[in-house]
Amino acid sequence: MVGSKWVYKLKVDADGLVERHKARLAAQGFSQKFGVDYDETFSPVVRYESFRTMVALAVQHGLMLHQMDVTTAFLNGYLEEEVFMKQPEGFIAKGQEHLVCKLKRSIYGLKQSPRCWNSALDSQLKTMGFAQTSSDPSLHSYKRREVHHCRLC
């Protein structure tokens, strides 16, 4: 069983004034045991050579590059293993302290979260017609007629 912890952060503007308060629940993944709570954690990382090649090709051919960030990426992956988490602080109902949460999706802090997110992203890209390259598992390409797209994920 994995514990959890609330992580609080203040977002400030350019003048240092508090713009908003943020809170996120993170699992205490350091308590996970290999073979019990997770089996694999490997998630491919973009090779530096692939990134440099993509930028060079874009410059050479006058192509436009687009960069994006998925802010809640780890929350979009589905867990393959059964992971149970203690109830988060502030959500424990009186008389039900013995209950635990069964996680269906990955959350920040779990050792397998990067792998779950990558698996979800990879399957979505393949559904859209992208193919994973053999030289770099983080590079997906899509070609249809005269249009050629590449994604580094």
82 pLDDT more than 80: yes
Residue 132: both structure tokens together: 């994973």
For residues 67-106, b (16+ Cβ closer than 10 Å) or e, as one string?
Answer: eeeeeebbeebebeeebebbbeeeeeeeeeeeeebebebb
6, 12, 18, 20: CA torsion to nearest 10: -50
User: Residue range 67-85: average pLDDT?
Assistant: 88
Instruction: Pick the more confident residue, 36 or 82.
Output: 82
Which pTM was predicted? 0.76
User: Residue range 123-144: average pLDDT?
Assistant: 87
**SS3 state at 107:** coil
CB 153 within 8 A of CB 138: yes
Q: Residue 25: pLDDT band by 50, 70, 90 thresholds?
A: very high
